[in-house]
Structure 1
């Protein structure tokens, strides 16, 4: 059986799980130990020097990066296909994934820094929240245009483009930034959330949240017991949204981390 090193909150891991479930491929999900503190080790790091989820283990094959993983899944289990038929539509689905996994994810991640990890309070927090609301609205307007009169981002059927969008948009909804009622995007989100592959994956995240003790994570960050990863697009968003102070304080307190070396 496949093993997927994952975290239930990770939109990247959620994307992979949705792909596997759409294909009907069985897998075992595992949460790596010491991922949050920045001290992940063992088989997880030996197969994934970036030390971030997700990572797929298929016998001797070790693959990290969610995009590469879903490409592997599509190659190995081609039915039912997740990519559209034409080269142009395939490129479009991949562009949706790129935008969501970089620019859009960073906004939700930044709100997590505020809501759960309390990186900023007062005026600075409000400045960052206002920027997040503006940026989310802008990207959702772009998504509305990309969806057009389609039922699915992928075209006639749910697929690659949809599984790339839905984890991030569902996260926005939980953060109070759902698509506006009555829009095509809101209707699409309702359809996507009803799919068993999506519903089951997000139910796992809710179940984990109910038992994870999120109320004390801000204190863990303050004391250095939890280090959030500030990779490229997240760092860019925090700075352009007005949170350079957050980054500087995190570096000084050693409670943020960056991608480790591969040696």
Structure 2
């Protein structure tokens, strides 16, 4: 049995769950003990040196990074394929995934820092939120262009491009950001959420939000250390949160990838 280490709110983990369910591959989920603190151990830590979900264990195979995991799933269980046949369309799916996993994820993650983890004072949060709203509007326009008049980002059928977008738009809606009313992107979001694989992942994510109510206190106590790596750090700084980064470093409430430093 495949074990997927995850947190229901993680869009990266949701992508993998959606892919496995679409292919009918049985799996079990586990949440790493102490996730978010950066000090988890055991099989999860061995599989995921960044201490981030998802991590997948399939017998002797241990993998981290959602894109690598998706590629493994597609290689091992090629039917039904999540990729369109046309090479250009396949490349487009990879571009969409990369944009969502880096640039868009940083924005939604940053909003989590403001809303769930209560980083920064009120003026700082207001400034960052204003920048985030502008960025999200631009992303929505870009996604609308990528979708065009098609039913799916992956072409004629649901696939890689769609599972790369759905968790992020569902997640950002929790902060009040949704596609324009009556737009093709809004229609697509309704369509994709009608799929059992996507709906189940979204429901599990929403159910886990209640557990986020105490996380700001955990940050204040130094128990919870959020991972500020690459695109997230860049986003926070350029969106007006330099003081949040400095404060997190000083109080040791943020962390960076240090596995390979040992």
TM over 0.5: yes
Within-5 A mapping of 1:40-189: 40-189=40-189
Report what 1:224 is aligned to.
222
**Structure 1 residue 117 displacement after superposition:** 0.4
Q: Normalized against structure 2, the TM-score is what?
A: 0.98
Query: In 2, are the aligned partners of 1:100 and 1:168 still within 8 Å (CA)?
Result: yes
Provide the alpha-carbon RMSD of the alignment. Answer: 0.9
| d(CA) in 2 for partners of 1:205, 1:25 | 21
Mark the runs of 5 or more structure 2 residues left unpaired by the alignment: none
Within-5 A mapping of 1:172-251: 172-210=172-210, 212=211, 214-251=212-249
Moved more, 197-206 or 56-65: 197-206
Q: Normalized against structure 1, the TM-score is what?
A: 0.97
Provide, for residues 52-98 of structure 1, a one-character-per-residue CA deviation record: whole Å limited to 9, x for no partner: 10001000000100000000000000010001101111100000000
| d(CA) in 2 for partners of 1:241, 1:92 | 28
| d(CA) in 2 for partners of 1:29, 1:144 | 33
Provide, for residues 126-163 of structure 1, a one-character-per-residue CA deviation record: whole Å limited to 9, x for no partner: 00000110000001100000100000000111000000
Provide, for residues 151-190 of structure 1, a one-character-per-residue CA deviation record: whole Å limited to 9, x for no partner: 0000111000000011001111111011111111111011
**Structure 1 residue 215 displacement after superposition:** 2.0
| d(CA) in 2 for partners of 1:49, 1:173 | 30
**Structure 1 residue 203 displacement after superposition:** 1.2
**Structure 1 residue 34 displacement after superposition:** 1.2
Q: 2:39 aligns to what SS in structure 1?
A: coil
| Alignment length (residue pairs) | 261
| d(CA) in 2 for partners of 1:28, 1:85 | 30
| d(CA) in 2 for partners of 1:61, 1:191 | 34
**Structure 1 residue 207 displacement after superposition:** 2.2
**Structure 1 residue 209 displacement after superposition:** 2.5
